[in-house]
A and B are shown apart, each in its own frame.
Chain A
């Protein structure tokens, strides 16, 4: 237990002395709260008001109105819900696949490991944009299919990470002892190997949310992701492209929110790495 406390202390230290980390944490909490509670806002994101279309920012409409006169600020906040939901659920999908594959490959080794790792090779050898779009062809357009598609093509790195962690966990005495006294392998994995790997998974998960949000916005921007009437930050940017000259303010807010969100999740991941690898803080901070 003593070791774990030191890890927590490290994270606390990191948060206290790293202003950007504090900023990232506060920003993330804020954006998540806003996304959850925006439904209670009195402004309807789909209320049309064609008389006031493409208006510049004003006190009535903080970020102006879009091409159909809808309040842009509230639309961006609703778009954030979609982006965050896709980010988190795609992360969960890829974590589940990646951790399972990595654990099984690392723990059982031999031919199982070989086959699984060759599959990982196959998946990671094609540029993501090609893979995601090809599989996207299969599914009907919709939120669920985007989540599945992004999740299906982002688990390989996690599988590799988990596998190498499992390989080293397998050499620990307590795991070998548990094996030796005949505890079934499923139970050994769950109660002895998994806890060792868990911190790595958490760190990978935060980075995964960031990259899933990025992939989703790129796909939606290309018109291959979230489609109307639903909107995400990426699809909002896509529609703002047509009005870039008339209403440049429409391109600003979603873009900045994407940057801040991705940046903050990455930053959070960096801070959590201190927890996973306590050695980083000892003396030198990075790499």
Chain B
């Protein structure tokens, strides 16, 4: 418990530094935030009044302090372009992203465990060569390209699935309609997650098979399958739990590209259009959000590791 508190206390300055650097950088950027608030027919006095009202005349450090205070109260501010409340937008968009990322990641995770164990235990045999070969190609394939190919075949040619969005207008409650929209981005994202995870499982399986306990089991006459499923898999899966913790930020930023291609109404398109329009309050909010999740994720994975691995607990 003491350890967890200590970790949280260490994490806070990290987050402050990250946000401060970003705030400074955005203030240095060669554009004026006032341009997106004003309209061309405003007089100079009106613009100046707006500037004062939005606090854009204060020193950067004061602006940062005010922004930080607002964030702590859960107020993310307003989009410069559409004037909508950012916390409202985020609340409506994050669930959509989670709906897409969570099933994809879990599917990829399970598939990767199976594939990785198979590849690792058949090292340099055809199973391994096949799985590892596909993984290297998978790592080299841009997600968006794979998405385009899928879109072309299943969307345009076979017309099986709708190309965009999450619901057909008017059918917001239909689960079948949702699934039809869901399947293509889901497949793309799952395939995108698999290669890295598989390689990780494969590597640690190979490492575990070299351990002494495997030789002991072999000398006692245990079968290959028995060693793999009874003993090796346990040791391979433990560190994987920590991967789950590290994946926490993916729930927000894990699908920016896929969401953008399929116009999935999640964080991805929101962020990309905010960046293109230099809507900095949105960019900063997402930055803070993902930074917080990264830190929480690391914390979570440390805690999970402590809980699952008695060796670490005894070290403290």
Contact = CB atoms under 8 A, between A and B. Distances in A.
Interface string B263-297: 00000000110011010100100110011001100
Nearest to A264: B140
Contact of A255 (B21, B137, B148): B148
B253 interface: yes
B290 A286 contact: no
B70 interface: no
- Give the contact-size bracket for chain B: 35 or more
Contacts of B278: 137
Given A130-B290, A285-B124, A223 B276 contact: yes
B152 A214 contact: no
Main secondary structure of the interface of B (DSSP, over half): helix
Interface stretch (B23-31, B78-86, B170-178, B211-219): B23-31
Contact of B275 (A136, A210, A286): A136
Contact of A224 (B202, B253, B275, B286): B275
Contacts of B156: 244-245, 248
A121 B29 contact: no
Interface in A140-162: 140
Contacts of B203: 287
B78 to A, nearest CB: 19
A266 B139 contact: yes
Contacts of B140: 210, 214, 258-263, 266
A240 to B, nearest CB: 8
B83 to A, nearest CB: 20
Interface string A116-137: 0010011001110110011111
Contacts of A136: 275
Main secondary structure of the interface of A (DSSP, over half): helix
Contacts of A262: 139-140
A143 B290 CA distance: 28
A266 B137 CA distance: 10
Contacts of A138: 25-26, 28-30
Nearest to B141: A259
- Give the contact-size bracket for chain A: 35 or more
A217 interface: yes
B197 interface: no
Given A210-B140, A244-B151, A258-B142, A134 B253 contact: no
A218 interface: yes
A82 interface: no
Contacts of B136: 263, 266-267
Contacts of B207: 287
Given A126-B291, A218-B257, 7 more contacts: A134-B283, A137-B280, A221-B142, A223-B272, A248-B152, A258-B140, A267-B136
Interface of B: 14, 17-18, 21-22, 25-26, 28-30, 123-124, 136-137, 139-145, 148-149, 151-152, 156, 202-203, 206-207, 249, 253, 256-257, 260-261, 271-272, 275-276, 278, 280, 283, 286-287, 290-291, 294-295, 298
